[in-house]
């Protein structure tokens, strides 16, 4: 349908205008991050920081254990993605490929659970994690989220598209279900698996409520809640906060730019219901 859209000067005007509006907060974050605290207190503010300084960046490492927070974020989102993929792909295999008796009932249960917001479970889940004596651990950050009904449903739809002949041929050859899952179904449905991995990592990366509930010590937190601690009670050194914001946002933005196609496909699939 593209051919009937003629690109005029106003298309460029709109694209540039919206693009700049979206970029403006990022630009201001970077600009503030290389200012001195004094520069952030100018009235009116100077838009272009001159001279630029990395003092704010250095200050970040003095105030919060930034590298620990970053490492925690990476560990927790990787751990959550791995466990989610294992739990969800096994369940989706049982429902879509083996089609165990009662699959329909379980699918309806899964669809019903999709409607229930996870946020209402923070008090009971905190009590459960506390009874396991697991508060203030990295595992506590992702354990309740790996039993992901959305993930099961997403993979179920992809696994259903796997040709039956492939699975049956492998069964004839005596392959176990676990082997078929890992060597046939997952590779054939890999775009669904990749999407679930991306959406899971992003969701952990962005989570704020559950981490601040379950983990109190700073060295067991992720970047999202950790960064918030840089804000002062009465005054805030915004150059320090913004320098930390840039550093914390950068890793995922770089990963996104590398895997742009897969990310955008995943976002489109998060609307698959």
> Which parts of 94-123 interact with other proteins (CB under 8 A)?
94-95, 98-100, 106, 113, 115-117, 119-123
How many angstroms separate the CA atoms of 167 and 144, rounded? 32
Subset of 213-272 contacting other proteins (CB under 8 A): 213, 223-225, 227-228, 231, 233, 236, 238, 241-242, 244-246, 248-249, 252-253, 255-257, 260, 263-264, 267-268, 270-271
Subset of 122-151 contacting other proteins (CB under 8 A): 122-128, 143-144, 146-147, 149
How many angstroms separate the CA atoms of 214 and 210, rounded? 6
Instruction: Report, in Å, the least distance between residue 142 CB and other proteins.
Output: 12
- The two tokens of residue 180 are 């078929």
Comparing CB distances to other proteins, the nearer of 81 and 88 is: 88
Instruction: Report, in Å, the least distance between residue 38 CB and other proteins.
Output: 11
Give the C-alpha distances (Å, rounded to integers) separating 2 from 9, 134, 199. Answer: 17, 55, 29
Instruction: Report, in Å, the least distance between residue 163 CB and other proteins.
Output: 19
Per CB under 8 A, the list member of 152, 167, 185, 221 interacting with other proteins is: 152
Neighbours of 103 (CB within 10 A): 14
Report if residue 171 touches other proteins, rule: CB under 8 A: no
Instruction: Report, in Å, the least distance between residue 231 CB and other proteins.
Output: 7
Subset of 5-24 contacting other proteins (CB under 8 A): 5, 7, 11-12, 14-15, 18-19, 22-23
Helix, strand, coil content of the chain in percent (nearest 5): 75, 0, 25
How many angstroms separate the CA atoms of 24 and 14, rounded? 15
Comparing CB distances to other proteins, the nearer of 127 and 169 is: 127
Contact 45, 199 (CB under 8 A): no
End-to-end CA distance of the chain: 25
Comparing CB distances to other proteins, the nearer of 157 and 270 is: 270
Report if residue 202 touches other proteins, rule: CB under 8 A: yes
Sorted by sequence, the CB contacts under 8 Å of residue 135 that are 6+ apart come out as 126, 129, 214, 215, 216
Subset of 60-89 contacting other proteins (CB under 8 A): 86-88
How many angstroms separate the CA atoms of 188 and 66, rounded? 39
């Amino acid at each position: 349908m593209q051919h009937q859209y003629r690109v005029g000067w106003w298309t460029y005007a709109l694209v540039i205008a919206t693009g700049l509006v979206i970029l403006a907060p990022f630009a201001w974050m970077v600009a503030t991050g290389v200012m001195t605290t004094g520069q952030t207190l100018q009235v009116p503010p100077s838009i272009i920081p001159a001279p630029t300084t990395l003092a704010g960046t250095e200050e970040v490492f003095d105030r919060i254990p930034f590298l620990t927070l970053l490492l925690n974020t990476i560990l927790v989102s990787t751990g959550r993605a791995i466990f989610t993929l294992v739990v969800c792909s096994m369940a989706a295999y049982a429902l879509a490929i083996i089609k165990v008796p009662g699959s329909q009932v379980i699918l309806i249960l899964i669809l019903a659970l999709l409607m229930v917001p996870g946020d209402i479970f923070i008090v009971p889940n905190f009590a459960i994690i506390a009874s396991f004596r697991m508060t203030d651990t990295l595992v506590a950050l992702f354990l309740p989220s790996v039993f992901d009904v959305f993930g099961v449903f997403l993979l179920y739809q992809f696994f259903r598209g796997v040709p039956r002949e492939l699975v049956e041929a492998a069964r004839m050859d005596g392959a176990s279900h676990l082997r078929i899952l890992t060597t046939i179904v997952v590779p054939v449905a890999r775009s669904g698996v990749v999407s679930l991995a991306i959406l899971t990592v992003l969701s952990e990366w962005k989570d704020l409520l559950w981490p601040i509930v379950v983990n109190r010590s700073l060295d067991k937190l992720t970047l999202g809640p950790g960064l918030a601690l840089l804000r002062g009670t009465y005054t805030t050194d915004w150059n320090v906060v913004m320098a930390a914001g840039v550093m914390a946002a950068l890793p995922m933005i770089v990963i996104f730019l590398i895997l742009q196609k897969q990310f955008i496909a995943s976002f489109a699939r998060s609307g698959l219901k």
